[in-house]
Structure 1
Amino acid sequence: MAVAAVAGQPDESPDPRPVLELRGIGKEFGAIRALHGVDLEIFPGEVVGLMGDNGAGKSTLVKIVAGNFAPSHGEMRFAGEAVRFNRPVDARAVGIEVVYQDLALADNLTAAANVFLGRELKRKFGPFSLLDHKAMAARSLELFGELRSETLPHNLVRQMSGGQRQAVAIARTRLSNAKLVMMDEPTAAISVRQVEQVLGLIHRLKEQGIAVMLISHRMPDVFAVADRVVVMRRGEKRADKAIGDTSPEEVTALITGAKEAA
């Protein structure tokens, strides 16, 4: 495994550097070219919407950043340091977290148990180690408070709304002090009220200086919360524009190919 970790302690002042830099990223699967020459920057506290039709290359790009795939070409830098990930755990180690569409939650467990799933806190009793449920509940409550979510540590996931489930998944990313959170279709198949809750959670991450990549097909959600929108088509980046400099109509034209680039 070869991973270039971020060196040194984080500066207390705002960092003007991009948290993520992609330069000329390409990916081939045999004769199939999934990505070609993708450049992208995301800054701390910035929300970037990643849009494109099925097969546009969004998923491949996300999987490269998350450590599922290695790029065939190009360079990736994180917090100013060159990185190359061989496994998702390598990406998590430097501060990249992914909230997948299925959320990967255990319905039969509480919110707190899901937040700490695989990273449980324990305390020693002589030769024995026991789960520290009190400490995990207290930390979970702090995280839900930071996200301004009404979710409580003892709530069972199977009884939660879509918005509450997203809060649990996002709280889990905060355990590792993530610098970049990538969210895959977080508002798919939930009610209008729950969509507002999820967009509020994204705002909370932004307020805390965390970069967010929002992968979504929902145009209103991207325009409501993103600072920039990046459009992918046929494995290439066709646009990278500030939200205020574009429109849903232009983005739709770029996604469908009615407009080649912007």
Structure 2
Amino acid sequence: MRYKLQKSIAVGILLAAGLALPAMSQDRPEDRFLREAKLLIFDAQWAAALDKLESILSQYPASPATPQVLFYRAECLSRAPGRAKDALRAYQDYLKTDDRNESLIEQAEVSIIDLSYGLYALGDKDAAKDIVGRLANPNKAVKYYAAYKLSAVKDKAVAAKSIPVLQRIISTETNPELTDRARIALLRVSPKSLEGVERRPDEPRTKVLRILITGEGTSRVDLSIPLALADLALQAISDSDKAMMRRKGYDLDRILRDLARSGGSILEIRGAEGEGIIKIWIETRK
């Protein structure tokens, strides 16, 4: 994921910056040990680095270097098989320190989200609380990442807690990457949650795929999604509606081909009695 790549790059830059600093004449022993640990981390020698960092904490518990040691210890634990819970606690310990680096705070928060998601996927249902709690984080990057991640959990009741943040992203952000990811996330959680979400008036013109599914006189699904994400929109349709479309000979390629040929007309797919009607068309949002 792009954010995780950015996180790795950011941590790497901070490591390189720390390693580049010359040793001071009054260098504390723990500072030298910390530089050695960073060298090991830079070489991905996580176990050896962890041993050195824990030795620093044991020998110099009140050192000014302790916050950094706690952060890099958490980084090492997050790479150790079977130690996700230890890593989670280690990042939380870092966040409790007073002398924290703003960039490392964000990295720690994102790592907590990733670790919690992994633990939740393995069956630890309480782990989702650490993701839900970050939906109110004052840092937008952390808040948005928590919402994107939470939308992917299988329990729809838990995933639904991400909806308000995702809807706010669509209605307030101008970055298409952010808004498109939010739309994808909402489709995962509940296609109906996209209904009524207002776009910003200054959002760029774009072609969108509109899908309206009606049955028994009521609208079951009414959503808009950027045309580039058409496959995701169709994936959000219920299994029964997709089955009806397949029986009528429609798949994504045929739908897009027919829409391109229609010159703006509405593609209408009618099922058997009681199955409803699917209307699909392309429109340009101004």
TM-score range, shorter chain: 0.3 to 0.5
Larger Rg: 2
Higher strand proportion = 1
Higher helix proportion = 2
Higher relative contact order (CA 8 A, sep 6+): 1
